[in-house]
């Protein structure tokens, strides 16, 4: 079975393979950002006493760490000798992956501004939690697809299909959560829901680029 890894090893230099590993690590860091935000909402739904402020700061630190990896990838891509099309693909997927953490950080900032998110109705917190769960699960699938693409492209493509299904599920939750937001008439809540949805969209966009890369390589 042909894989991206075997083709890259034959055709491209080790610096490019190193960058691909950095892209995977970048995706993992963004996944951690989404996971942390999901855990925060899960704890609030469960009624646990947690330090929301500290958790939000931790989420923002994870986003900063993800952004550091993003900059490292782009700086490396600017100096290594690889085909322009590959460089462009790597830049595109890196920026989309970084959007996962960016949008989660934006959501965390809104929670910080509100200051009393734990006072929202439980069913609304559950709706936010469920949306964020989709973001986390889809980001985990993206990491799996990136890693699997080094060994078996068909498995990677199958995982990408799972991401598409997650995105569809996220769209349905988005509409339902927006409807629930109307009870509060709070602009910040609408922005919060949008930011979580945008993180899911960023995951699908990144998976679309990965699919393009795989299809181009196996042709």
Give the domain ranges of the chain. 4-218
- The count of other CB atoms within 10 Å of the CB of residue 8 is 18
In whole angstroms, give the CA distance from residue 17 to residue 39.
33
Residue 7 is predicted with a pLDDT of 52
Residue 10 predicted with pLDDT over 70? no
Q: Which fold has domain 4-218?
A: Methane Monooxygenase Hydroxylase; Chain G, domain 1 (1.20.58)
Per-residue pLDDT of 53-86, as tens digits, reads 999 999 999 999 999 999 999 999 999 888 898 8
Per-residue pLDDT of 154-172, as tens digits, reads 999 999 999 999 999 999 9
């Amino acid at each position: 079975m042909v894989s991206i890894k075997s083709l890259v090893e034959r055709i491209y230099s080790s610096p490019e393979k190193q960058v691909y590993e950095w892209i995977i690590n970048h995706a993992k860091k963004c996944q951690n950002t989404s996971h942390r935000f999901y855990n925060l909402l899960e704890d609030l739904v469960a009624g646990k006493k947690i330090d929301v402020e500290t958790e939000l700061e931790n989420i923002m630190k994870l986003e900063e760490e993800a952004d550091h990896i993003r900059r490292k990838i782009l700086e490396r891509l600017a100096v290594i000798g690889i085909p322009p099309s590959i460089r462009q693909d790597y830049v595109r997927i890196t920026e989309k992956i970084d959007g996962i953490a960016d949008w989660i950080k934006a959501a965390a900032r809104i929670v910080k501004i509100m200051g009393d998110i734990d006072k929202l109705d439980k069913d609304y917190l559950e709706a936010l939690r469920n949306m964020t769960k989709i973001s986390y699960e889809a980001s985990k699938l993206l990491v799996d697809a990136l890693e699997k693409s080094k060994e078996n492209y068909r498995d990677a493509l199958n995982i990408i299909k799972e991401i598409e299904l997650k995105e569809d599920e996220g769209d349905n939750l988005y509409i339902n959560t927006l409807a629930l937001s109307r009870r509060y008439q709070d602009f910040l809540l609408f922005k919060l829901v949008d930011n979580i949805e945008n993180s899911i969209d960023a995951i699908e966009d990144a998976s679309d680029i990965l699919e393009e890369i795989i299809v181009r390589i196996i042709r």
